[in-house]
């Protein structure tokens, strides 16, 4: 149902884009809008990962890093049936993470230093599994396309006053309303798609790591950290907020229309309601203790903060 809902929302975004193009420039405007959107999507689809990683000053981690982060990611990627993505570290105290890349073969997972300091190794495995689920579900490409569509709709709506055709069809008041309502409608659709994909990635991530409670516990800690610790790079680039596992700009308490992420409480409840993987029922403990699914690295005593 998540995929069906995403497809319907993507269709609504496309229809909105074509409709705004038609109102601005008639049938010719709709065609031009489609060509412009295709070019913008192609450019952002190919370059979005490099642009986003540069915005957040993400630094690559090589295999054998002292924290064992690359080994952990590689092991979970194999469990998910994915190529091993590139791994990046963002030096910011806010605990958070995101995935990016145009396809599974050209993907990257970025985690913050605050995430590593505040989570157990099991919880970190849950977060990385969530990001790998986004990659496997091609959510990184979907969200890039929807963000581009939303930006293009805003741009077209702002052109309304400069095209005689739109003024004749809508009048001055109608053109002004379109300038306000069209970008708002596009943002609502974009946010609805983002919330849908987060729920799907939570479920798939829990299945990849084998323990829903690992991710549930991690989400609670990340939400608490994001609510009290600023992320300056995210504040400078709010258009990237939907990519993070928890809203870095401070989360909403409900799944309201203007939220980029579902409420953390709702996500945790859904994870706790999942049946235990591999025949294990969910346990009541807040902190997961089993590490049987986590890949081990050599010299574990020196592997990082989880020792």
Residues identified as active-site? 131
Q: How far apart are CA 168 and CA 185, in angstroms?
A: 23
Q: What is the enclosing helix (H) or strand (E) of 217?
A: helix 212-228
Tokens of 167: 């003024």
Tokens of 61: 């981690």
Q: How many CA atoms lie within 13 A of 158 on its CB side?
A: 7
Residues 145 and 189: beta-carbon distance below 8 Å = no
Q: By CB neighbour count within 10 A (0-12 exposed, 13-18 middle, 19+ buried), where does 289 fall?
A: exposed
Which 3 state secondary structure label does DSSP give 65? coil
Residues 143 and 52: beta-carbon distance below 8 Å = no
Tokens of 239: 């258009």
What is the CA 240 to chain-centroid distance, rounded?
8
Partnered with residue 86 across adjacent β-strands are 108
Residues 219 and 246: beta-carbon distance below 8 Å = yes
Residue 53 vs residues 112, 260, 306: alpha-carbon distances, Å = 12, 20, 26
Residues 108 and 85: beta-carbon distance below 8 Å = yes
Looking only at the bridges linking them, the beta strands covering 59-61 and 86-90 are antiparallel
């Amino acid at each position: 149902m998540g995929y069906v809902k995403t497809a319907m929302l993507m269709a609504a975004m496309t229809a909105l884009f074509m409709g705004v193009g038609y109102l601005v420039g008639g049938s010719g405007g709709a065609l031009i809008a489609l060509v412009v959107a295709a070019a913008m999507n192609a450019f952002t689809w190919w370059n979005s990962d490099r642009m986003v990683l540069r915005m957040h000053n993400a630094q690559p981690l090589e295999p054998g890093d002292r924290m064992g982060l690359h080994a952990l990611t590689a092991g979970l990627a194999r469990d998910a049936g994915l190529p091993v993505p590139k791994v990046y570290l963002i030096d910011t105290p806010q605990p958070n993470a995101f995935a990016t890349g145009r396809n599974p073969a050209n993907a990257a997972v970025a985690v913050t230093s605050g995430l590593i300091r505040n989570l157990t190794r099991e919880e970190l495995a849950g977060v990385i599994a969530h990001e790998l689920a986004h990659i496997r579900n091609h959510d990184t490409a979907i969200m890039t396309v929807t963000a581009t569509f939303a930006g293009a709709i805003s741009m077209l709506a702002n052109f309304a006053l400069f095209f005689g055709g739109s003024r004749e069809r809508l009048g001055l008041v109608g053109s002004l309303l379109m300038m306000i309502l069209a970008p708002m409608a596009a943002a609502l659709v974009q946010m609805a798609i983002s919330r849908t994909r987060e729920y799907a990635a939570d479920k798939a991530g829990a299945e990849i790591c084998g323990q829903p409670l690992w991710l549930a516990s991690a989400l609670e800690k990340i939400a608490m950290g994001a609510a009290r610790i600023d992320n300056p790079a995210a504040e400078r680039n709010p258009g990237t907020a939907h990519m993070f596992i928890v809203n870095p700009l401070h989360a909403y308490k409900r799944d309201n229309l203007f939220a980029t992420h579902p409420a953390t409480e709702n996500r945790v409840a859904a994870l706790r309601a999942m049946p235990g993987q591999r025949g294990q029922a969910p346990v009541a403990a807040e902190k997961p203790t089993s590490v049987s699914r986590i890949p081990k690295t050599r010299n574990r005593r020196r592997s990082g903060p989880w020792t």
